[in-house]
Structure 1
Amino acid sequence: MEVRFIEFQKHGDDRGALIALEQDINIPFDIKRVYYLFNTEKDIRRGMHAHKNLRQLAVAVKGSVRFLLDNGTEKIELLLDNPSQGLYIGPGVWREMYSFSDDCVLMILADHVYEESDYIRDYDLFIKSVVKK
């Protein structure tokens, strides 16, 4: 499963902390799209899809969120709760986000602009597509 944590170098002093995100330095792809989720209720699940080609990096800029990641043969659950850490998710991974903290701001960096044809939104179709490979 093409999933891993990426640690970001944190700079700071008594004034606060700063993290720089730079493509091809600590982001392993060219950044084409950035979006973020906030004000998500605790009992709401987001995501519930996979991508055919898209690569993403998720950062809990504030608060925390849980991820369920599934490549068709293995499922893992992770907690993302550190703004100096990103969660890289490669193509072919079903993802669900849940248990958002009240203050969660989840930022996603992607290597392509939005393209509906890249999404697999039906879990049964996702499983069929990974079984073919």
Structure 2
Amino acid sequence: MKTATIKWNDFFANEPKPVISKKAETILKVAFVGLTTFVMFTDVTFAASSIDTAADAIYRKLLNIGKWVIIIKGGIDTIQKAVQEDLQSAKKNFLGYLLVYVLLWALPWGLKQVDLLFADMGA
């Protein structure tokens, strides 16, 4: 087997050949814009409400699992740092895990507030 070497600049000097033609690219762009417009102006509230209900149930289960993971992992890490007499690092560890836990609770609340804001605007 023979190996050929090529300079870096020579390798990137050639422009890549297009995968699809300009005509096909234009057709895909028009189809994408049409589909996007259709979805934007179609009433999808029924589907969104059923998805929100299912997603909320899944989120609650994941939050419960995440809570225990944070408590166990955060407790072990914080205790290890305290045993090593690195109290500053133990405090940072504890506050970091506490922040992650608070964010897990605050994220859905924040998203619901944004949803209510847009609902109030008539969007």
What TM-score comes out, normalization by structure 1 length? Answer: 0.16
Of structures 1 and 2, the one scoring higher in RCO (CA 8 A, sep 6+) is: 1
Greater strand percent: which structure?
A: 1
Greater helix percent: which structure?
A: 2
Which of these two proteins has the greater Rg computed from alpha carbons? 2
What TM-score comes out, normalization by structure 2 length? Answer: 0.17
